[in-house]
Amino acid sequence: MQQIARAVSMAFNTLPRTHRIMLGSLTVVTLAVSVWRPYVYHPSDETNPIVKSIELDKNQLRTLLPEASEPIDQDTPAPEDDVPKDEIDQDVPNETGTHDYVVSSGDTLSSVLNQYGIDMGDINQLVKVDKDLRNLQVGQQLSWTLTDDGQLQRLSWEASRRETRTYDRSGTTFSSSSEVQKGEWKDIVLSGTVNGSFVNSARQAGLSSGEISSVIKALQWQMDFRKLRSGDKFSVLMSREMLDGKSEQSQLSGVRLQSGGKDYYAIRAADGKFYDRTAAGLTQGFMRFPTVKQYRVSSNFNPRRLNPVTGRIAPHKGVDFALPVGTPVLAIGDGEVIVSKRSGGAGNYVAIRHGRQYMTRYMHMKKLLVKPGDKVKRGERIGLSGSTGRSTGPHLHFEIWINNQAVNPLTAKLPRMEGLTGKDRSAYLAQVREVMPQLRFK
């Protein structure tokens, strides 16, 4: 046996060093396997099994949640945090948390309010209070006020030019009230010349803040009111309800603005929307998605998302699309870039203003392709997707804001290019022939 061992030892020592290491390692592994006895658990062996608790820290827990692509401990900044203001925003302020909507064909109360994340429970309670809300008519106007966490506080419904119904929250239900105006409606033409800002010039011509806001919204897709020059002219046809010598409410019927020798018109049709002299739509069409194709939604819009870690409300004001790094990000509509920079949790992000009422935001991008002040067209590349800022994986966080209120990008009623046809167009053109002669400049 000793001779065999001596022969094996001599043979081993004559091997190259690499071979000796490999052979030695294999021997050790073989011995370990031969003596190892795996433990097999038999339920009958123990009456009190041992249960081990594994605790995860917040970072580990976050990656297991559906919202993993958008951290849940902090929400994204509101637009007012870094979106530049201009004199029109300051001079014609909107009531905080309030939104106005003109009913279009096919709209229902639920389809309108759902896009703002309002609970179906609240919508059902409203219908219980007033069943007439099930039968909204084209051209009627809805106005509602939300709390900071997106809860419906008040809804107003202009059922007609004379009657406005209001629904106020009372706990989990709503109470209703109705106001019927008995004044006399009169048409009045107010005209003037721009001298300084349009807002101040319109006030001098006799328009109220609400009426000025209506004019700006009607022409927002044709005219940048910040670029009007002194000497430009405007003429506005308002329908006002007069009661005891005072205007109780008003409605814009038509407006004409002359700038640089060119006339711009907006005239209200029976559906409550504004069109030009030829019955063509004034709004610019939007795309539904900010990418060439639709990608998987990794985190949905939720204005009252409950943080499972902190237990507080942390609204998710947009949707997250899971897409590969470097995917082109597109502007969903024509507009002006007002923010393009790296900003904390948002990472590289772009904000675009579309007209006066709409704004879109695109966050966590790898690369920015536009700068503030750039004019962009629908479908134009504004950046490449990435995972910058507070992000746990490649994705695009996308938001749509209407009148400073975040809406659900997947269900929002987006502007689209449309015009009147058939009998509607004929009726509108007849109305244009009546309105245009009244919009003369003094």
Neighbours of 281 (CB within 10 A): 17
269-305: per-residue pLDDT in tens?
A: 988 889 999 998 888 789 999 999 889 998 888 877 7
Among 48-52, 189-193, 248-252, the least confident range: 48-52
> Same domain for 151 and 254?
no
Same domain membership, residue 319 and residue 258: no
The residue from 180, 199, 232 where one domain ends is: 180
| Residue 306 is assigned to a structural domain of this protein | yes
CATH of the domain at 395: 2.70.70.10
What distance lies between CA 21 and its chain's CA centroid?
65
- Total domain count, the chain: 3
Q: Is residue 169 a part of any domain in this protein?
A: yes
In a domain, 52, yes or no: no
Q: C-alpha distances in angstroms, 82 versus 78, 186, 340, 341?
A: 8, 43, 10, 10
pLDDT bracket for residue 65 (50, 70, 90) = very low
Cβ(166)–Cβ(155) below 8 Å:
yes
Same domain (yes/no): 336, 264? no
Judgement on whether residues 313 and 400 belong to the same structural domain of the protein = yes
Same domain, 291 and 403: yes
Q: Same structural domain for residues 385 and 293?
A: yes
* First-residue to last-residue Cα distance in the chain: 125
d(C-alpha 243, C-alpha 70), whole Å: 53
- Domain membership of residue 94 (yes or no) is no
Residues 220 and 247 placed together within one structural domain of the fold: yes
347-357: pLDDT as tens digits: 999 999 998 88
- The owner of tokens 């700068």 is 371
Six-digit token pair at 358? Answer: 């709409």
The answer to whether residue 146 scores a pLDDT higher than 60 is yes
Q: Is residue 375 part of a domain?
A: yes
**Is 315 inside any structural domain?**
yes
Domain check: are 272 and 125 in the same one? no
Residue 320 lies in a domain: yes
- Residues 195 and 265 both lie in one domain: yes
pLDDT, position 19: 63
Picking from 148, 180, 212, the residue at the C-terminal end of a domain is 180
Higher pLDDT, 48 or 163: 163
Which phi and psi angles does 367 have, rounded to 5°? -145, 140
Average pLDDT rounded to a whole number, residues 142-150:
81
Q: How confident is the model at residue 45 (pLDDT cuts 50, 70, 90)?
A: very low
Which pLDDT tens digit goes with each residue over 25-34?
Answer: 667 666 665 5
Domain membership of residue 71 (yes or no) is no
Nearest Cα to Cα of residue 195 among 204, 207, 208, 186: 204
Same domain, 294 and 278: no
Q: What are phi and psi of 89, to 5 degrees?
A: -60, -40
- Domain co-membership, 259 together with 345: no
Mean pLDDT score across all residues of the chain: 81
CATH number, domain of 129, equals 3.10.450.350
pLDDT digits (tens, 9 = 90+) for 302-326: 877 765 555 666 778 899 999 999 9
Higher pLDDT: 69 or 102? It is 102
Instruction: Please report which confidence band the pLDDT of residue 49 belongs to, taking 50, 70 and 90 as the band edges.
Output: very low
* Structure confidence at residue 73 as a pLDDT band (50, 70, 90): very low
- The domain of 210 spans 184-283+419-438
